[in-house]
Amino acid sequence: MTLFNPYVLLGIVLALLGSFGAGYYSGEQDEYERQQVEIARLNEQARETEQRMAEVAQTYAQTLRKANDVARIKEIKLRTDLASGERKLFIPVKAPDCPMSVSEPSAPASGDTETRAELDGRVAQALVDLTARGDQAIRQLNTCIDQYNQVRSMK
């Protein structure tokens, strides 16, 4: 048997191809296992990050709830004070242009010439309602911004 025998050459080629194929298959399996380990590690890391983000969201939700409760108590007190007449709301109005005599005894001595008008009770309550809703929206926005910034810094 010589080396140039076609069966020997075919055997050598098949042996080489077989070893390359087995190495390729083995490498593919090793890579698949490495990828699975990496995927599991990344999934665990993502779960931890998600859990931290949920804790941050819960903390900010509690903070917002407390701030809303405090604001609601103040709003209720203001509403009852307005309804009972203990507190009144006024707005400045433009006084009519009429000449006043300097010698008039009813002229204010302090120089305060602002003319004011008292708001109607319903209008005052509507104004309190409007400002309360605006304040609540601002608190929600600020909480959302703070939460976003904290979550963004986690990554």
Mean pLDDT for the stretch of residues 42-53: 93
- What pLDDT was estimated at residue 108? 52
Q: Which residues of 72-89 are buried (b: 16+ CB within 10 A; e: fewer)?
A: eeebeebbeebeeeeeeb
Of 73 and 155, more confident: 73
Average confidence score pLDDT of the chain = 85
- What pLDDT was estimated at residue 30? 85
Of 21 and 37, more confident: 37
Answer whether residue 38 shows pLDDT above 60: yes
pTM (2 decimals)?
0.61
* Dist CA 103 CA 115 (whole Å): 20
Mean pLDDT for the stretch of residues 132-142: 95
- What pLDDT was estimated at residue 114? 72
